Amino acid sequence: MKLLAVLSTLDLKYRLGCTPAWWQLLKALYENENEVVAVPYLGRDIESLWWRTKPNPLSVQSELYFHLSRTLKKKGAEGTSHIRETAVQKLTDSFTRPRLAHHLTKIMEKEGNFDAVIFFNVPLNQIRGIPSELKKRFGVKTVYYDGDMPTILPENNVKRGFMFDYYQGADLSEYDLFLVNSEGVMITLKERGANRVAALHYAADPELFQPLECEKKWDIAFFGYGSQDRTKWMTKMIADPSKNSSWKIAVGGKDFGISLGNSSLVGDVPMSAFRRFCCSSKINLNITRESHTSTYGSSTARPFELAAMGCCIVSCPYNGLEKWFDKGREIVIVADDDDIEGIYSELLGNEKRMMSMGKEIREHVLREHTYRHRSKELIDNISRI
């Protein structure tokens, strides 16, 4: 199948959470004998061994807006969001949308025979009308994939810290298929006008995320960005245990607005060093934002990445995590009334169990949760349109 992929970005430097997943999914589509032509919405086009790119016609404008929004967000500019969104909408209507529409039309005319165009987390309200135009003119199937559910929905995005509301003024009915990483939001999206909604969950490329034999520097490790919407469990699983034991607890990432006790803050960890960071710890923590964990079947990348690396994982409560992994045998999921320090002590005192959990959960990933599996699901869903 030949696909035109319009992606939020292909550049990892922006640290948008979905970007590593897009790389892995596009790579898997290639490995499963599909052809992908990629166009980024933010930043430069990045060629690879697995896809071809076309230039981003909005590279300068998108980068300026990205940095401006980040600056205003860091400064906490009160009362500016409505003004910013109004200005962006005017710019979108007069310049951004027409230029992108023209660019995609030219690609379709020159390349021909695309089976589908897929928009990956591109702001929905900034591309309104483009899917309908492409479908009408070229008869191509239109697909949208939102990997930020449920936090991207208007009722959650302020708490999560997104820079603006993608869904205000969007028309979900333009898409033949609407894919999401959360089963719990599918009814909501249909109520908002989506014709057909299906779940396409996160996964991991087991060649990129594989076990690494190295020194265990840490007893317990966690990596993430920000404490928003997960303060409770970062406190219970990191800060409190760090005060009451001699365990070596490492926290990678940044923008934590809470005390993390006596844990060691190691700072940001680039993707190239992420595997070593995780494999250097005996236990890895999965602490996911509550808007995800409370909405059934809302997948995130981290459990699959840790599982693919054969890590021993302890997770905060997570509604639907048992859908992907066997609780107890492959992963430990704590509850509100659990003795978390007791759980850590039991695991750290039983190396055989930790190794068995890591082995079992990696084998589960290999059977069911690689991006080759997800790419086949994607193609199957498009074929059914």
Residue 71: give its domain's CATH number.
3.40.50.2000
- pLDDT for 59: 76
Residue 359 predicted with pLDDT over 70: yes
Neighbours of 264 (CB within 10 A): 14
**42-90 pLDDT, tens digit each:** 999 999 999 999 999 887 776 766 666 665 555 554 444 554 556 566 6
Nearest residue to 208 via CA among 154, 275, 157: 275
Reduced 3-state DSSP string for the chain: CEEEEEEEECCHHHCCCCHHHHHHHHHHHHHCCCEEEEEEEECCCCCCCCCEECCCCCHHHHHHHHHHHHHHHHHCCCCCHHHHHHHHHHHHHHHHHHHHHHHHHHHHHHHCCCCEEEEECCCHHHCCCHHHHHHHHHCCEEEEEECCCCCCCHHHHHHHCCCCCCCCCCCHHHCCEEEECEHHHHHHHHHCCCCCEEECCCCECCCCCCCCCCCCCEEEEEEEECCCCCHHHHHHHHHHHHHCCCCCEEEEEECCCCCCCCCEEEECCCHHHHHHHHHCEEEEEECCCHHHHCCCCECCHHHHHHHHCCCCEEECCCCCHHHCCCECCCEEECCCCCCHHHHHHHHHCCHHHHHHHHHHHHHHHHHHCEHHHHHHHHHHHHHCC
The predicted model gives 106-133 an average pLDDT of 95
Helix axes 19-31, 371-383, angle to 10 degrees: 70
> 284 with 137, same domain?
no
Tell me whether residue 208 is in a domain.
no
For helices 351-368 and 340-348, angle between their N-to-C axes, nearest 10 degrees:
100
Average pLDDT on 335-363 reads 98
Average pLDDT of span 242-253 = 95
Chain segment 159-190, per-residue pLDDT in tens: 555 556 889 889 999 999 999 999 999 999 99
Query: What domain range is 266 assigned to?
Result: 218-368
Chain CA centroid to CA 352, Å: 32
Q: Based on the domain organization, do 24 and 152 belong to the same domain?
A: yes
278 plus 315 within the same structural domain: yes
CA 369/CA 22 separation, integer angstroms: 15
| Residues 89 and 235 reside in one and the same domain | no
Domain identity same for 235 and 185: no
Indicate whether 121 belongs to any domain: yes
Whether 213 maps to a domain, the answer reads: no
Looking at the 3D structure of the chain, how many domains does it have? 2
Read off the pTM: 0.93
Residues 108 and 193 in one domain: yes
Q: Quick one: 257 and 193 in the same domain?
A: no
Asked if 311 and 278 touch (Cβ cutoff 8 Å), the reply is yes
Please list the residues that pair with 145 across neighbouring strands.
120, 179
The mean predicted confidence, pLDDT, of the chain is 92
| Inside any domain, residue 7 | yes
- With respect to residue 294, please indicate whether it lies within any of the assigned structural domains: yes
Residue 168 domain-assigned? yes
Percent of the chain topping pLDDT 70: 89
pLDDT tens track for 258-269: 999 999 999 999
Q: How confident is the model at residue 244 (pLDDT cuts 50, 70, 90)?
A: confident
Task: With a cut of 90, say whether residue 3 has pLDDT above it.
Answer: yes
Neighbours of 119 (CB within 10 A): 24
374-385 average pLDDT score: 98
Query: Is 209 contained in some domain?
Result: no
In a domain, 240, yes or no: yes
Residue 175 CA, distance from chain mean position = 21
Question: Do 147 and 15 share a structural domain?
Answer: yes
Strand partners, 224: 253
- Contacts of 80-87 with C-beta under 8 Å, sequence gap 24+, read 81/164, 84/164, 85/164, 85/165, 85/168
Residue 33 and residue 168 share a domain: yes
What is the b/e burial string over 212-241, where b = at least 16 CB atoms within 10 angstroms of the residue's CB? Answer: eeeeebbbbbbbbebbbbbbebbbbbbbeb
